[in-house]
Amino acid sequence: MSRQRRQSLIHTLFEDEARAVGFGRVAGLDEVGRGALAGPVVAAAVVLDPAAPLPEGLDDSKKLTALQRERIAEELRRTAAAYAYGLVGPEEIDSTNILVATRRAMLQALEKLQPCADFLLIDAIPLRESGLPQKAIIRGDSASASIAAASVIAKTYRDALMREYDCAYPQYGFARHVGYGTREHWAALREHGCCPIHRRSFRGVLPEDEEAEEERTTAEERVTEEERIELEEEDEKVTGEASEPTAT
């Protein structure tokens, strides 16, 4: 019995709506690595060329195989009107929190876009720090072509970075799990402890005794109580979950 090909639901309706009211450079924004125990959070901004066909099979990066992602990313880098990356490392994630770091990565990507965007389509997280008109879309990477493109561009870029880290810290297996909390990764943490690219503020990364000491200066305590409540309430409202890190 032949295997059915998965159907992509990606479309350009959101992009078309924005262009219809006068916006000419619609950028999709997405991030990857938010829930990982190690490595940076990476965001990508992509402005698609409306005259270019979408890559075959374009979809949320999590629904694609590694080979499909690489093929689609290579095509997007050739055909997109513009694309750029933003990156925030573990130290900054630990000194703020993962939601703040994600927004900073997105802002970095936007600032690097040439030509710059005039309208944003964002996967779930409103980017209030940007003054640009925008639309946050729940599960946007499974609907908007621009957001899906950003998810693929960000994922392939971060995966390549994690393969480089694997060469520096081979005992953790970063090339296989790219920093997420797999059984292999947890076992390596128990055996070797954390390395410089681990997020020490994430629960379980540090041994219990060391973690208790670190709790006095965790990222959450460095954020004011008012800001923390605001961030948590917004994250729950937008994503339907608390601001506890989750895999993306």
pLDDT in tens, 149-166: 999 999 999 999 999 999
Q: What is the domain extent for residue 134?
A: 13-239
Mean pLDDT of the chain: 87
Phi, psi of 223 (to 5 degrees): -90, 140
Residue 96 lies in a domain: yes
Highest mean pLDDT, choosing among 42-51, 202-211, 216-225: 42-51
Domain assignment present for residue 40? The answer is yes
Say which DSSP state 54 is in: P
Q: Which H helix or E strand runs over 208? A: helix 208-214
Report yes or no on 6 lying in a domain.
no
- Rounded distance between C-alpha atoms, residue 60 and residue 52, angstroms: 19
H or E element at residue 192: helix 183-192
Q: How far is CA 210 from CA 18, 81, 85, 204, in A?
A: 50, 48, 34, 10
CATH classification of the domain holding 227:
3.30.420.10
Q: How high is the pLDDT of residue 8?
A: 80
Q: What beta strand segments (E) does 89-191 contain?
A: 119-123, 134-137
Q: Tell me: the pLDDT tens digits for 76-101? A: 999 999 999 999 999 999 999 999 99
Confirm whether 50 is domain-assigned: yes
- Residue 170: is its pLDDT beyond 80? yes
Cα separation, 57 vs 68, whole angstroms? 8
- Whole-angstrom distance, CA of residue 144 vs CA of residue 134: 13
Residue 69 CA, distance from chain mean position? 15
Amino acid at position 184, single letter: E
**Cβ distance 27 to 45 under 8 Å?**
yes
The number of residues making up the chain comes to 248
Q: Tell me whether residue 244 is in a domain.
A: no
131 domain residue, yes or no: yes
Mean pLDDT of the region 176-195: 97
Rounded CA separation 164/172 (Å): 12
Domain count of the chain? 1
Q: What percent of the chain has pLDDT over 90?
A: 79
